[in-house]
Structure formats: C-alpha cells, structure tokens
Amino acid sequence: MVLLLYAWRLSSPASWIRAEPPSGLVRVAPAILVLVTSLMLVGLLSPMVERLEARGMRRNLGIALIFSLLMTVVMFVATLTIPEVIRQANALIVQEPLLRERLAVWLSASRLTSSLAAWLREINYATVFGGKSPTAITSSVRAIEVMAYSVGTVFLALYIMVDRDRLRGALFSLVPRTHHIRLSRIMGNLEHIVGGYIRGQAITCVLMGVFTFILLTAVGVKSALALAVMAAIADVLPYIGIILIIVPAVLVTLPMGLVVSGGVAMALFVYQELESRLLMPIVYARALRLPSAVVMFALLVGGTLMGIVGALLALPVASAGLMLVEELRLDLPGTTDTPAMDLQRERDDEHALEYTLRTEGLNVTDAAAIAVEINAEQVRADQVEATVLKEHTSA
C-alpha cells in the first residue's frame, strides 16, 4: 500500500513541481502528456483504419467505426468493473492500518528489518500526498481533471486521424523534398514502434490482471478485482512493476498464513518471469529493439524527469531515439559503412528518383502521400523477402 501511494504521488502533476517558480515546461507538462498519449493512440488505431480502407471503406467512416467501437467497449467494461473496483478499493483503504501493522510485526521479528518496521508504523501520509492529506474535494477535483484530460486525449487523437493528410503535408513542407523519402520511412518506423508498444502493453497488462484476479479469487481474497486492476496498471513498469504487484497481494493474504502469502508471491513472480521471457518477445515482436542496459537507463531518466509518467514513455522514446540515430548514421561522414547501409543508400536513391518523377507539379500534401506509399511498398517487399528467406532457411 505504501509503495502504491508513493507511486501515486510520483505520478501526480504536483510531484513534478520541485522548485519555485515552476518552469514553463512543467506548466505545460499535462498538455505535452495529452499530445504524446494522443499520438500513441493514433499509432494504435491507425493500422485498424488502414485495414478497413484496404477493404474499400471510406477513411472517415472507418475512423468513426473504430472510435465508436472503442468507446463502446470502454464504457461497457467501465460500467461492469468501476463500481466494484471502487467498493473493493475503499475496503482496502479501511483495512490498510491493520495490514500495515501486520507487515510491521513481521518485519520487527528480524534485527535487519526492525528499523523498517518502526518507520512503517510512524509513516505520515501527509508527506506521501505532498504535504496535505487528500480530502473529498481534492480527490473530486483530481478525478475531474483526469476525466477532462482523458476526453481531450481521445478527441485530439480523433482530430489528428481525421486531418492526417493536412497535418502530414504541413510536416513534409518543413523538410526539403530530397529528404521526403527518408522522412516517410522515419514516420513509418515511429508508427510501428508506438503501435507495437501500445498493443504489447495492452495485451500483457490484461493478461497480468486476469492472472492476478484468478489467483487471488482462488485463495479467497474478497478484493481480488481491485487488486487485479492495480496489478494490470503496475505491469506497465518493467522491473519495479512486479514489486507494486506482489506487495499488496502479500499484505491482503497475510491473515491466511505465510504459506498462502508465499505461494501467491511465488506465483506472481513466476508469471512475471514467463511474461518477460516468453510473452513480451512475442507480443512486442520487433517493435522495441532495446538492450537491457538501455531499458534500465531509459527508465531511470524517465522516472527522474516525470515520475511514473516518464517511466511509461521512456521505452518508446528510447526506441525511437535509437532508430533516429541509425537513420542519421547513413549521412554521417567518417562512419564505417556496412552492407545494410550501402543497400539502404541505393534504395533511397532509387526511391528518390521515382518520387521526383511521380510528384512533379504536385502540392506537398499529395507528394507526401506518394512518399508514404513508396515507403509502404518497400516495407511489404522487405516482408515478402524475409518470409521467403525464412522458408528457404528452414527447408
């Protein structure tokens, strides 16, 4: 519970403001977060709309259909789960002092952890919530703010998808036409990274929530649904997410005995390992190609700058940064060329010539669409080549 409350504090906008006066970047941090989240939502939904377009459906109708389906599913799930989650969460809050005392008693049994037990008994929640205890009014205001930002995120994503051609044309107008092919490839890679990350996170979070709910329900925990929702949310954080999952589960199962608590902790830990080593490579595919050291460093930097929110955005940002470095290396003098780099340069020259011939006399919006089309054709050709090579190797 303490760890979850501390995580909540880190994720709140108030925790970003450390100095006086606050910087302009901190002031607009919520707006930046809305924009980034909207772009991630666009990356998630765009492939679905493109599939509908490929089957002959008009783009605007496809967007309306996808967003309507999304909102229907969200409202249906929220109606079924939110009232029960709130009820169970309130019950957990009421039981929190007793659970904390039980944990303190268990920690005080050892000299190594006795000081931690004393700190746990004397914890001041006013410091956890930024110097003042939460009230019904402040909680309601915060809930309204979160709701407003959520609605704004959805509508901003909708407007971005509807105005895709004009926004893309405006972006391409800032770049010389000689670099439009490169820009289209970068935009395609960014969409692949963001879309793959969001889809992977959604799948793994849902699976973690389902597993936690089944596990806690099997051992007789009454607040299994609330803890399962908390586990699904915490699962987005690599490394530290498992701590935020296991600690509340162990606390609520302590009255059932150390065997049950230890079994629950072990089951969650084993599932997390299976998720990290088996599920994540499958659901993420090749969207995020990050070494472990880069993952840890990105999480540290993101968490330091913007708390939990920064940690959530760290991995796609780091992956996008590495992709940009690879793209820029193609033009950097003094770098050692590889066969892959030479092949990419040859393709860029061929595509640049094709792009010049096909876009002669066209405005930048139509030209940008052709650049994206050329890049999409190359991606499909690479996929076919990779499939043939894989089949040839396996044979």
Separation of CA 220 from chain center: 32
Average pLDDT, the chain: 76
How far apart are alpha carbons 22 and 155 in whole angstroms?
Answer: 28
Residue 215 pLDDT grade (very low, low, confident, very high; cuts 50, 70, 90):
very high
Amino acid occupying residue 243:
I
User: Is the pLDDT confidence value at 220 over 80?
Assistant: yes
pLDDT computed for residue 88 by the predictor: 73
| HSE, side-chain direction, 13 A CA sphere, residue 320 | 17
**pLDDT value at residue 262:** 87
Per residue in 3-12, pLDDT (tens digit) is 333 333 444 4
The residue-averaged pLDDT of 117-135 equals 59
Of the candidate ranges 152-156, 162-166, 172-176, 309-313, the one whose mean pLDDT is the lowest:
309-313
Q: Which of 152, 153, 157, 151 is nearest to 49 (CA)?
A: 157
Give residue 26's pLDDT.
Answer: 59
Confidence of residue 18 (pLDDT cuts 50, 70, 90): very low
Under the banding of pLDDT at 50, 70 and 90, the label for residue 65 is very high
Which residue did the predictor score with more confidence, 167 or 334? Answer: 167
Domain positions in the chain: 2-386
Residue 335, pLDDT score: 59
Closest CA to 369 of 161, 195, 166, 156: 166
Using the predicted structure, report yes or no on whether residue 127 has a pLDDT greater than 60.
no
pLDDT at residue number 14: 42
User: Which range (25-34, 328-337, 377-386) has the least confidence?
Assistant: 328-337
Q: What is the average pLDDT across 75-84? A: 78
Higher pLDDT, 21 or 341: 341
pLDDT tens readout for residues 303-316: 677 666 676 777 77
Q: What are phi and psi of 248, to 5 degrees?
A: -65, -35
| Segment 249-255 mean pLDDT | 82
pLDDT band at 267 (very low <50, low <70, confident <90, very high): very high
What is the pLDDT, as a whole number, of residue 285? 54
Across the range 76-84, mean pLDDT stands at 77
Q: How many Å is the maximal CA-CA distance in the chain?
A: 80
Alpha carbon distance 274, 277 (integer Å): 5
Taking residues 236-243, report their average pLDDT.
Answer: 75
CA dist 181 → 172, 202, 362 (Å): 10, 32, 16
Q: Which of 201, 206, 209, 211 has its CA nearest to residue 267?
A: 211
Q: How many helices and strands in the chain, by DSSP H and E? A: 17, 0
Region of poorest pLDDT, from 16-25, 46-55, 143-152, 153-162:
16-25
Rounded to two decimals, what is the model's pTM?
A: 0.68
* pLDDT for residue 101 is more than 80: no
pLDDT recorded at residue 2? 36
Say if residue 214's pLDDT is above 90. Answer: yes
pLDDT of res. 322: 79
Query: Per-residue DSSP letters for 75-134?
Result: HHHHHHHHHHHHHHHHHHHHHHHHHHHHHHHHHHTSTTTHHHHHHHHT--HHHHTTTS--
Lowest mean pLDDT among 75-84, 111-120, 159-168, 249-258: 111-120
Alpha-carbon Rg for the chain in angstroms: 25
Indicate the range of 5-9, 97-101, 103-107 predicted with least confidence. 5-9
Judge whether residue 84 has pLDDT over 70.
yes
Confidence of residue 253 (pLDDT cuts 50, 70, 90): confident
1 pLDDT above the threshold of 60: no
**Is the pLDDT assigned to residue 266 strictly greater than 90?**
yes
Q: Kindly state the average pLDDT of the residues 128-155.
A: 65
Question: pLDDT tens, 177-200?
Answer: 888 888 888 888 887 777 777 777
